[in-house]
Structure 1
Amino acid sequence: MSISTPYSGGLTGEQFFFYEMRIVSKLYLKCTSVEEIIEIVRRDNLFQYPTERKISKFVRACHRRILALSNEKLIYELANAPVEVAKQINLYAMMRYNRLVREFMEGLIGEKYRQQDFFYTKKDINIFFSRLQEQNDDVAAWSEQTIKKLKQVLNKCLIETEMLDSANDTSLNPIFISAELESGIRDNNDLTALAAFNCFR
């Protein structure tokens, strides 16, 4: 991901999307277009949403993350691997697609793992956003409500991948990267991402 890639606050509406990513990645491996995937999800009510209003938007968001993986093996594992493996791959897809997630996972969480500093509090994520706001006009323009929601989503990513036990927990878990994800990251020559999953070998 280029340093010139703009920061996006779109994560406030898109979230971790694990259930949806599993479905879309399975269909991606079989279908020819995102339009076809949207049609199947809508027709068969695969997301089980109460209305169809956001199906198209969310399928497209999942599809963009899948394309960002740039790795057919990882896409296959996202669709078919055990949940804990696929959740790590989903987080990596978010890192590949969203600069904010990338910098949070590498710059904050990865550095904590590197230093074996497992203490993690609201102060850490507040400092992360304060620094971003000082450095970037787009981030500085985000509302307090947007920042608050983004903090919740980023913390949810940590909980979903078992790096954090709960939103109120103050200790990161020293997780192990899945072999499938490590192999995919190395195949992508994306080695800086390894730190986000406590991998320094």
Structure 2
Amino acid sequence: MNSTYPYIASLTGEPFLFYEMRTTAKLLTSGLDEEEAVAQITADNLFQYPTEKSLTRMAKACIKRLHAMEDVDLIHAIATQPTEIAKQICLYAMMKQSRLVWEFMLTVIGEKYRLKDSSFGKIDLNIYFMRLQEQNDTVASWSEGTITKLKQVIARVLVETEYLDDIHA
């Protein structure tokens, strides 16, 4: 991940999306192109969303995240591998798309693994975002609500990928 890549807060509206990512990956690996996959997701309401607009937006977000990996074998693995493995690959896709997640996983989670420190709490998220706000004007300009939502999304991702046992850890 290039350090010039901007921080984005799109995770507030596009969280982990495991089910959606897997569904999209299956369609793409079945031979559909991107437009056909989006059309099928929308026509059949494969994500079970209330509006066609949200279906289309999330389908395109999934395709963008899948392409961020730049690896068709990993897209195929999301579609076909056991859930635990596919979730780890989805986390990787999220990291490749989001500098925020990439740096969090490397600097916070990676450091905890390196130090064999199994503790994790809200303070870790708070410190990460506080430092980031001090270092980056874009992140500093985000509302407290956006920061809170991003912390929630990251915590849920850690639970879904089994880095944490529960969201209140």
- State the TM-score, normalizing by the size of structure 2: 0.97
Whether the aligned pair in 1 keeps the contact of 2:45 and 2:55 (CA below 8 Å) is no
1:40 alignment partner AA: Q
Percent identity, please. 52
Q: Deviations over 1:30-84 (max 9, x none)?
A: 212x222111001111111122221111111110111011112111110110001
Paired with 1:58 and 1:48, the residues of 2 have a C-alpha distance of 11
Q: Deviations over 1:138-192 (max 9, x none)?
A: 00000000000000000011000111011112xxxxxxxxxxxxxxxxxxxxxxx
**Counterpart mapping for 1:28-107 below 5 A:** 28-29=28-29, 30-32=31-33, 34-107=34-107
Q: Which stretches in structure 2 are left out of the alignment for 5+ residues?
A: none
Instruction: Give the number of aligned pairs.
Output: 168
Q: Deviations over 1:88-129 (max 9, x none)?
A: 000000001110000011110011011001111111110000
Question: Paired residue for 1:19?
Answer: 19
2:52 match: secondary structure: coil
2:49 match: secondary structure: coil
Structure with the bigger percentage of helix: 2
Paired with 2:123 and 2:48, the residues of 1 have a C-alpha distance of 37
Paired with 1:74 and 1:42, the residues of 2 have a C-alpha distance of 24
Whether the aligned pair in 1 keeps the contact of 2:8 and 2:98 (CA below 8 Å) is yes
Question: Paired residue for 2:115?
Answer: 115
2:32 alignment partner AA: C
1:70 alignment partner AA: E
Task: Tell me which stretches of 4 or more aligned residues in structure 1 moved more than 2 Å.
Answer: none
2:3 match: secondary structure: coil
Q: Which stretches in structure 1 are left out of the alignment for 5+ residues?
A: 170-201
RMSD over aligned Cα atoms: 0.8
Question: Paired residue for 2:10?
Answer: 10
Question: Paired residue for 1:151?
Answer: 151
- State the TM-score, normalizing by the size of structure 1: 0.82
Question: Paired residue for 2:127?
Answer: 127
Shift of 1:5: 0.4
